[in-house]
A = this chain, B = another copy of it.
Amino acid sequence: MNPTIKDVAQKAGVSIATVSLVINNHKRISSDTKKKVQKAIKDLNYYPSRSARDLVSKKTGNIGFILTDDHFLRTEPFYTRIFLGTEFEARDGEYYILLTTIKSDYSEKDPLPRFILDRSVDGVIVAGKIPEVLIDKLAKYNLPLIFVDYTSAKENFPVVLIDNIQGGITATNHLISYGHKNIAFIGGDINHPSINERLIGYKKALENAGINPNKKFISTTSPYPDRQNGYNSAKKIFSTQKDVTAVFACNDAMAIGVMHYLKDSGFSIPNDISIIGFDDVESDLMLDPPLTTIRVPKIELGAEALRLMINTLKYKNSNAKKILVPVELIIRKSTKSIK
């Protein structure tokens, strides 16, 4: 079997308590014994048993990560990157991430993830929009709960968010600085806070520039912000509004849909129409032209969430922090100055 703390103690000629103190580098240990013990640990290739440790310390060493299945399976690796950021950050620490998906139409009678029921996690990170009913059920367990890229309107949880408003402003300003005035906004369900905030940023930037937002240029009726809906929304707008010269799509997926529509309709990008996206879902999309967009640091979002969780766990401070992660304008070839 694997070596235990006992073997180490024996080999180093000390008690098991001493070994334990060395491992958790307690100060009450001389550097001599410390070295001896560390040598023994190395020689035996000893690793503490997690279950024994967890049992006595009443921790599990796991963090749950909840995602809806459609978010997990999205074509563009957005939430998967957020997850990866969490996993990267956990990797060097002492936590493991337990990922589970839930159905996006989770309802009252669906069971909670097993890791909640059998208390296999010390806290839960929720990424993306999930049904309110699940939030309610989760809140009943007094587990630390942290949200990423979404949060409940009703309750006040610690959360890591994209600075969407600033991103919306930056994107719109970029188009304005290129001389565009008639800028369309193509978004999905306005009830999703991220999309709404990007729209707010869009409007703010227009107002700052003295441009009156035109309702006919704004599409927010699509249920889900994917390519197909980007295509459809573009169709609706461009078939009636002839003087639009630029599009701000609420994410890259919709932007790609818009590009498809424009190509199909004989428009040239960026000569006829400039287009900017949001998210920067890096992938071999073979887009032509490459899409100007607002980069969201997805890995960073996930890492930030885990750090927040670890802090919450460590200091039990439950004052609900909000962390706004900044975004960045990435200029490629899909936008063009018309001055």
User: Which chain B residues border A283 with CB–CB below 8 Å?
Assistant: 73, 75
A278 touches B (CB below 8 Å): no
| Selected interface stretch from A76-84, A156-164, A169-177, A267-275 | A76-84
Q: Per-residue CB proximity of A46-88 to B under 8 Å, as 1/0?
A: 0111111111001010100000010011111100110010010
Residues 189 to 240 of chain A near chain B (Cβ within 8 Å): 226-228, 231
- Map CB proximity to B onto A265-308 as digits: 1 under 8 Å, 0 otherwise: 00000000000000000011110000000000000000000000
**B99-A97 in contact (CB<8A):** yes
Asked if A73 contacts B69 (CB within 8 A), the reply is no
A92 to chain B, nearest CB (A): 8
Q: Which B-chain residue is minimally distant from A261 (CB atoms)?
A: B286
Complex Cα gap A47–B91 (Å) = 28
Tally of this chain's copies: 2
Give the docked Cα–Cα distance between A228 and B290 (Å): 14
The residues of B that contact A118 with a CB separation of less than 8 Å are: 47-48, 50
Residue A178, interface by CB 8 Å: no
CB-CB under 8 A from A97, the residues of chain B are 98-99
Indicate which residue in B1, B87, B98, B226 contacts A100 across the interface (CB closer than 8 Å): B87
A150 at the interface (CB under 8 A from B): no
